[in-house]
Each structure stands twice: as structure tokens, then as C-alpha cells.
Amino acid sequence: MIQLHTPKASRNQETGRLSFMGSVSPAGVRFRDRGGEGDGTSRRVPGTFSVVPAPMMQTVRRCLLVTSATLASLALTAPAPLAAPSPSPSPAASGSPTASGSPSASPSVTPPAGMSSVGGTRLGQAGTQVAIAGGAPVLPKDLTARSWIVADAESGDVLAAHNAHWRLPPASTMKMLFADTVLPRFPKATVHKVAPADLAGMGSGSSLVGIKEGESYTVHDLWLGVFLRSGNDAVHVLSAMNGGVTETVRQMNEHAEELQALDTHVVSPDGYDAPRQVSSAYDLTLFARSGLQKADFREYCSTVTAKFPGETRKNKKGKTTRGTFEIQNTNRLLSGDYDISQYPGIAGVKNGNTTNAGATFTGVAERNGKVLLVTVMNPEKTDHNEVYKETAALLDWGFQAAGKVTPVGELVAPKNTAQASAQPGANPSSSEDSGQAGGAGDVSAKPVAGAVTEDGSGGMWIALAVAGGLLVLLAGGGYLVNRRWPLPDLVRRRR
């Protein structure tokens, strides 16, 4: 596979796949594992879990839920509502938001002393954050990435992190946010004929899938180009369909804010190096977790190889024909390479590599009933496939450490999750495949403020009576929201 070395090129040369994910790879295609010895990079072993059971709630999580429910009930009786504190963004520093709220031109070579505290105060601290208890393995040696994070995809617990909120150039891992934002807007069977304007504005040296002007492609084809080949041409065509690059960037920034990914500032939807375009390991993990709620997102990011439409040509007899060519996923933990094998249980999600960002990668994998998300940004070590090797090492550690370490933070839910879960049968992820009823049902659909009496007493006694009944329901609702984030079918083992 050709690696581009043009300055500012989007050199996305990474690959992998979760064993429980579906795939759109052509039937009958087989891939051999290539090289590697030892746990985590050895040849694939058969999976043993057809369905990953929802994890048991830890005692501390139960306490937090009950505490939250208690506080919520007390708030109902207060004379004035208590506003929840908003997430604190990184301070104005190099690589952090400026006074105007926009990222600075480029990140510093060292993490700022104070970073965002979204997900927990420890995640805003520089350096490695981990709380190893008895029997837990030590972190892998020789980790050189500027930033990384290991999180439980289902519970949202952050098991360990290193400069999790450091704002860095994301490269094509930004395409996860692009897909999570735009993918639901067009049915996959929609056909689009590419106009010259659709491909305008791509950066020099961009990674391409090979889209041609004047040819027609389905939305399904275009998303395969985005996920497998990290094609900036496919991103620009989809952006054109979505109202243009400027509108798509606006939507992506809006969606990032909704996900509470406050380290992120989008300038280019494809992740191509651009001034002031930044994200963080924490935010990229939020994007992956949100995207994996969508069946199509899971399908595309776990696909190893596919057929892509070629050019329309006329043969010697004057008959018009259009062939196809094969494209392979550039996620090396999914497809393997000469110096690294497919990672057991891998299911995506996205890789990137640019001049400013270096190598970046977010991966999701399942093993023995655990689903982990790992993001690695810009390893200093320049060995071939280093970003995948460090990701594999962190995944191995995470699977061994699960249940043996105290979480140092959490992956927060989107802002609208609580509101959506309060509606009857609502789906907090806005995905078509939730498969569960909405958390607390209609318990909080109607405001208790309706109990306020005409004399202004606030209906305290009515509120207290209602609060007693709400206490258990709110705690139960919180539990359901936790269990369905991500959705149960995310952990369906690939057969």
C-alpha cells in the first residue's frame, strides 16, 4: 500500500475489526493473519460469546445513581432550581481555547497544565492517570503517544488515560465525527452524480478512493470510500450533498458540542491539516462511542474489503460497461500487515495520519464480555505501524485490568440523553436500532412545577410526595440509560 509523504497529506494508512460486527465484505473473501506472536497480536482465535451480557453495576455506581436520584428529588422541593455546573473547557493556553473560545493555531509540544475536566478532574491533569488496585497489571512499557485513553465502551468508565484532553490535530479520525453527523441524513441507496464542484477544495496529497467526475455513486459506495480508504474525495462529495463543506463543518461543530466534546474545533470535515483544527483522545473516543450506536456506522467501520465502482467505459463493440475495483480498509488492526496481525475481536473504528497530527487511531474490540475503546494520538516512536502496536498493547492491558482498577473518569453521555430518556419509548442515541424502551419513561415528561399553588407556596408537600415515588424510578431510569449506552447489539459477536 502506498504511503503518501506529501506535506500536509492525509496519510491514513491504518486497519482492524471487532469479532461481533457485521461486515459488507464480499462473500467468500478470506484474509490470513500475518505474523506476530503473543497475546494481542497473535492469530485470531474463535470467539466464545454470542452475546456479551450487560456488566453488573458496581457498588460505587449504584451509590452514585442513588445519590443522583436523591439530589434530583431534593431539587424538586427547593425554592429555586439548582443549575448543574457546565463542563469546564481548557484554559487559554497554547493548544487550548483562546479567550474568544477558539483553538490556537497549533498545539504546544507539551500538554497545558490545565485542561478540560469533562469526565472527571483527573482527566484534566497532565501525565498518566491510573489507579491500580491489587492484582491489576502495570501499564505497558514504551508507550510514546502524546495522548491516549482506555475506556469501557459499555459503562463509559475510563480505566486509564494520558493527557486525555490535550487538544491535538486529529487527522482522519475526525471522519468519525463527520460520519456520526452526516450518515443518518441520506439513505444508503441514494444515487448521486458527481459534479466538478463536489471535489473542489481538497488538500494537496489527500487520501483518495478514486471518485470520478460525471460518474454516479450510491451513498453506500461513498461511505465505503470514507471508512475503508479514508477518501477525502468521498467526504467532499457527501459534504456537497449535505449543503456544502461550510454547512457540514457547522453541523459537525454543533454535534461535537452536543456530545460534550468540548476540545474539538472542526475546520475541515475530512480531518486534513488546517489551522486551529483540533480534537483530543477523549473527544475522539466520544465520537467513536456515539457512532457505534448506528448500525451503518458499525457495518462500514468493521468492513475489511469491498468492491468500489470504477469508470464507465465503452468496449470495442461500443457497449457501455462499468467495472469495479477492490478497496481494503487501511486500519491495520483490522486487515493486518506484514509486521502486525489482525487484533482478536477488533471491530474498527478509524485511523489517520497527517504531517501535523502524526499517526492517530481509535479502535474498539471485544473479549470475554468486555468491550473497550482505545484512542492513541501521535506516538513519538516512528516504527512502522507504531500507533497500532501501542493501541494493541493498551487493549491487552485494558482487558487484563478490567475490574481490577478504579476508574479515573468517565465518558460522558450527550447532552440530550437525559431529556430523551425521559420521553416514553425515546431513543437517546437517535439510532434506529436501540431495541429498548426509554429509560425512566414519562416520569419526568411533565414538570412537577405544575404543582405550584396559587398562593406561591411552591406545592412543597405535593413535591415531597412525588419525590418519594420518583427516587426509585429515577435511579432505575439512570441504570437503564447506563445499560443501553452503547446499545446491546453493539456487542453481538460476528459469526
Quick check: 97 pLDDT over 50? no
Mean pLDDT of 68-90: 38
pLDDT at position 358, please? 96
pLDDT at position 157, please? 97
Residues 173-207: tens digit of each pLDDT: 999 999 999 999 999 999 999 999 999 999 999 99
C-alpha grid cell for residue 246? 461550510
Q: Which of 272, 249, 102, 275 is nearest to 177 (CA)?
A: 249
Distance CA 158, CA 131 (A): 11
- Angle at the Cα of 390 (from 388 to 396), degrees rounded to 5? 100
Q: Which of 307, 309, 301, 312 is nearest to 326 (CA)?
A: 307
Q: 63: number of CA atoms within 13 Å, CB side? A: 3
What CA–CA distances, in Å, run from 56 to 82, 130, 365, 367? 31, 22, 19, 16
130's enclosing H/E stretch is strand 128-130
pLDDT band at 411 (very low <50, low <70, confident <90, very high): very high
Mean pLDDT of 424-438: 41
- Angle at the Cα of 345 (from 173 to 331), degrees rounded to 5? 30
pLDDT at position 108, please? 61
Peptide bond preceding 245: is omega within 30 degrees of 0, i.e. cis?
no
- Choosing from 230, 239, 290, 341, which is the catalytic residue? 230
pLDDT at position 153, please? 94
pLDDT at position 423, please? 54
Higher local confidence (pLDDT), 176 or 457: 176
pLDDT at position 107, please? 52
pLDDT at position 134, please? 80
pLDDT at position 445, please? 32
- Choosing from 172, 206, 207, 444, which is the catalytic residue? 172
pLDDT at position 26, please? 40
To the nearest whole percent, how much of the chain has pLDDT over 90? 57
pLDDT at position 340, please? 95
Mean pLDDT of 159-165: 98
Lowest-confidence pick of 27-36, 234-243, 347-356, 374-383: 27-36
The residue type found at 77 is T
Residues 260-307: tens digit of each pLDDT: 999 999 999 999 999 999 999 999 999 999 999 999 999 999 999 999
Q: Which value, to the nearest 10 degrees, does the dihedral of the CA atoms of residues 372, 357, 355, 92 take? A: 180
Q: Do 205 and 6 form a contact (C-beta atoms < 8 A)?
A: yes
pLDDT band at 114 (very low <50, low <70, confident <90, very high): confident
Mean of the per-residue pLDDT values for the chain? 74
Higher local confidence (pLDDT), 100 or 149: 149
Confirm whether 106 is a catalytic residue: no
Distance CA 113, CA 98 (A): 15
Q: What is the DSSP letter of 115?
A: -
Distance CA 365, CA 17 (A): 7
Q: Do 282 and 165 form a contact (C-beta atoms < 8 A)?
A: yes
* E runs forming strands in 230-357: 305-314, 320-328, 346-354
- Choosing from 19, 175, 341, 429, which is the catalytic residue? 175
pLDDT at position 419, please? 56
Peptide bond preceding 486: is omega within 30 degrees of 0, i.e. cis?
yes
Q: Do 294 and 180 form a contact (C-beta atoms < 8 A)?
A: yes
Q: Do 494 and 302 form a contact (C-beta atoms < 8 A)?
A: yes
Q: What is the DSSP letter of 295?
A: H
228's enclosing H/E stretch is helix 219-228
C-alpha grid cell for residue 95? 493548544
Confirm whether 314 is a catalytic residue: no
Higher local confidence (pLDDT), 79 or 49: 79
Q: Is 216 helix (H, G, I), strand (E, B) or coil?
A: strand
Report pTM: 0.70
Q: Do 300 and 227 form a contact (C-beta atoms < 8 A)?
A: yes
pLDDT at position 417, please? 76
How many of the other CB atoms lie within 10 Å of CB of 183? 18
Confirm whether 175 is a catalytic residue: yes
Distance CA 151, CA 148 (A): 10
Residues 201-240: tens digit of each pLDDT: 999 999 999 999 999 999 999 999 999 999 999 999 999 9
Mean pLDDT of 329-344: 95
Q: List, in sequence order, the alpha helices (H) in 187-280.
A: 219-228, 232-241, 245-258
